[in-house]
Amino acid sequence: MSVNSKKKFEGKVAVVTASTDGIGYAIANRLAYDGAKVMVSSRKGTNVNRAVELLQKEHGSESVSGVVCHVGKDEDRKSLIKEVIKKFRQIDILVDNAAVNPSPGKTIKSVYCVSKTALFGLTMALAYELGEDNIRVNCIAPGLIKHALENCFGKMKPIIGEPEDCSGAVSFLCSEEASYITGETITMAGKSARI
């Protein structure tokens, strides 16, 4: 991470869902490193507390907060937004990191791949719809990232990325450097190889 970019989100507030480990945690950590105040969330309170503690040690107690939120529940989503506004008074960046788990089997990642295809279309539609409000919508589509889910791929020996490999792309897409980019999906995947 470059020293020059450290404060590019100073004065900004970021909300990152499903951000207590893996890709979400790496994104929350990167945005805090880049100067944003960050609200992390997850379905389990113990995970939220652990992530907040770690991030506050790294970035300061005023920079990071957390709330329990299952993004599949309307009540939880509303509570998340209320907590962000109460704590930080604004939302500048929203990273929706929640996803479905890939299913092992003959069609590896079948449900996961279908969900990614749907995200491509949703990203373009939302970018068009929200563009008149000066809201950019972009997506990253990572390949296999080192995480508990990597064991779902049986005998396949793919190249595995690190969660931090995704965080730089998200930081870029949220920055002013990407102010002219909307409706795009950045595919981030290594080549897979079978044994």
Gap between the Cα atoms of 18 and 28, Å rounded: 10
> Quick one: tokens of 58?
């790294």
Gap between the Cα atoms of 64 and 15, Å rounded: 10
Q: What is the DSSP letter of 65?
A: E
Q: Is 17 helix (H, G, I), strand (E, B) or coil?
A: coil
Residues forming the active site: 112
pLDDT in tens, 25-38: 999 999 999 999 99
> Quick one: tokens of 30?
């990167």
189, 143 contact by CB (below 8 A): yes
Residue 2: count of CB within 10 angstroms of its CB: 8
Q: Above 50 in pLDDT, residue 5? A: no
Q: Give the contacts of 60 (CB within 8 A, at least 6 positions apart).
A: none
Q: Is 76 helix (H, G, I), strand (E, B) or coil?
A: helix
The residue ranking higher by pLDDT, 80 or 117, is 80
The pLDDT of residue 74: 95
Q: Position 162: which residue type? A: E
How many residues can be counted in the chain? Answer: 195
pLDDT in tens, 63-103: 999 999 999 999 999 999 999 999 999 999 999 997 666 55
